[in-house]
Amino acid sequence: MKVGIIGLGLIGGSLSKDLGKLGFASELIGVDRSALHCEKAMDLKLVDEILDMETAIQKSDLLIICTLWMLFAVCSLAFWTR
């Protein structure tokens, strides 16, 4: 299963790490507005690739949103209308 994680901060990064350890996902896709978070996630091998939100939504079988509550509505709407 391809899992997209939007928000690679403390919660999203930790979740990605555990999902990878458990073998839950065949591919972990990361999305974050912060270039630093993206770079760290790739360096630590928390995700397999970094994509923009639109592409990640299209490519993911499961989308986990780890962002501020205001962004949750935007992400949810984009996911359900894909």
User: Which tens digits make up the pLDDT trace of 47-79?
Assistant: 999 999 989 999 999 999 888 765 666 666 666
Coil, helix or strand at residue 65: strand
pTM comes to 0.82
Instruction: Tell me the domains of the chain and their CATH numbers.
Output: 2-80 (3.40.50.720)
78-82 long-range CB contacts below 8 Å, 24 or more apart? Answer: 78/53, 78/54, 82/57, 82/58
Q: State mean pLDDT over 4-33.
A: 94
Block residue for tokens 């990361």: 30
User: With contact defined as beta carbons under 8 Å apart, do 29 and 51 qualify?
Assistant: yes
DSSP per-residue string spanning 19-49: HHHHT--SEEEEE-S-HHHHHHHHHTTS-SE
